[in-house]
Structure 1
């Protein structure tokens, strides 16, 4: 079986996983007009603050994958992954900056102020711990090939809808990371697909493991969106039920 047929089988296997995430009620709410603007604002604040822990390890992880490609005789892919790792440097700081912008705006009129530095400095959320913990359990080549491809594909599916909502509801900014990530990731989709094909070219028997990695990676990555929404709903409830002048 040639690499195109193998890649087509990977795509076929991942299609229902992608469809399930696209139809997820929480992700649909985030891009819907039905989501209250305050709730969407609080979700952005939570996601940018807690996303710092998701973004921190990424540059080193991608450089490590580049080294692995070099070890298996794929210098072109090695350079691409190492370059991609360099592009990811500073994304954690950009997310933290967005969180601070949003918190400053929130605290101007909120009944319940938010300590953004405490959120940024807090330990990784369970979704982030699961995601990065899983990455450390196997061969970086097919794990990272699958995860990178599935996450980059969000830039042509979910993220454009999300950033449209940001532009509608956040006129004073606070989504710089999302804008930069969207622009950069859209240019990476085909390169990420090439990584999947390269793994399959090395060993066709890796297809089941690659499918398993992609099937875990996409929902696991999206779990951070969901977990931050659950936290934002609690923030929203406190804000809307706390009497003026009383800080719990």
Structure 2
């Protein structure tokens, strides 16, 4: 009876132990500055451009990562989770293409309003940030390890970010930059919507997996925390890039 009760509480244990990583994300992601009522509009607009341009390398391999993690789970006998991961992978196909389109859309919008013109291809050809390398390597390490099931913790924590912060970022963008800015935020808008369902699915997968393999709760917490740390670094890199870029554009004028 006690063992059954412990198993049922493992999801709550995961939630409790991952909380410090979620708090660390809030402190290190730069979102507090983005959500500030005093955010400079130029910085925010450039942030959205950098987010999408740099985000391509954060998303272009997602389908492949989840697929291969599912394959590894199947190889190691985690059959149910492996099959579900492979099914989920199909839902992530091509999302990086939306970020490419949004980069072009946001830059085109900027260029209609400012004399200082931007080039979407310049943003899209920027070197991959160190935080992005860390994020990509984390997936590869998890897939190659004997704990490929930890992919579900990555999916759970990262997709939950859209649910927790996505709507707030869209609302802040509309408030500061006007409602038309959402024409260049299709990736963000879609993920705010679909990741509600994805997060519910990931929570169910976590609960079911922990009931069957309770000894792995610490691994899931560790990998979920590493994913949040890397993603916080990515967002902070986008903010710093936007701030530095805005300083070089000091005194820009709008097209009359």
Same-fold call, TM > 0.5? yes
Cα deviations across residues 56-97 of structure 1 (Å, max 9, x unaligned)? 000111111222343355555334322321121121110010
Greater shift in the superposed pair: 72-81 or 185-194: 72-81
Distance 1:164 1:156, change over 3 A: same
Q: Work out the CA distance in 1 between the residues paired with 2:16 and 2:51.
A: 31
Q: Match for residue 216 of structure 2?
A: 206
Q: Is the 8 A contact 1:145 1:199 kept in 2?
A: no
| Structure 2 gap ranges (5+) | none
Q: Work out the CA distance in 1 between the residues paired with 2:150 and 2:82.
A: 15
Greater shift in the superposed pair: 127-136 or 50-59: 127-136
| Structure 1 gap ranges (5+) | none
Q: Aligned match of 1:37 in 33, 36, 41?
A: 41
Q: Work out the CA distance in 1 between the residues paired with 2:52 and 2:172.
A: 15
Q: Is the 8 A contact 1:48 1:99 kept in 2?
A: yes
Describe the SS at the equivalent of 1:124. coil
Q: Match for residue 126 of structure 1?
A: 130
Q: Work out the CA distance in 2 between the residues paired with 1:121 and 1:83.
A: 32
Displacement, 1:25?
Answer: 7.1
| Aligned-pair Cα RMSD in Å | 2.3
1:66 and 2:98 are equivalent in the alignment: no
Relative to the length of structure 2, the TM-score reads: 0.86
Q: Is the 8 A contact 2:104 2:120 kept in 1?
A: yes
Q: Match for residue 225 of structure 1?
A: 235
Moved over 6 A (4+): none
Matching of residues 152-191 of structure 1 within 5 Å: 152-168=159-175, 169-172=177-180, 173-191=183-201
Q: Is the 8 A contact 2:29 2:235 kept in 1?
A: no
Cα deviations across residues 36-74 of structure 1 (Å, max 9, x unaligned)? 111111000011011011110001111112223433555
Q: Is the 8 A contact 1:66 1:78 kept in 2?
A: yes
Displacement, 1:198?
Answer: 3.9
Greater shift in the superposed pair: 166-175 or 26-35: 166-175
Q: Work out the CA distance in 2 between the residues paired with 1:156 and 1:109.
A: 31
Q: Aligned match of 1:78 in 78, 82, 95?
A: 82
User: Between Structure 1 and Structure 2, which shows a larger proportion of helix residues?
Assistant: 2
The number of residue pairs the alignment matches comes to: 244
Describe the SS at the equivalent of 2:184. coil
Q: Work out the CA distance in 1 between the residues paired with 2:204 and 2:253.
A: 55
Q: Is the 8 A contact 1:142 1:213 kept in 2?
A: no
Displacement, 1:23?
Answer: 4.2
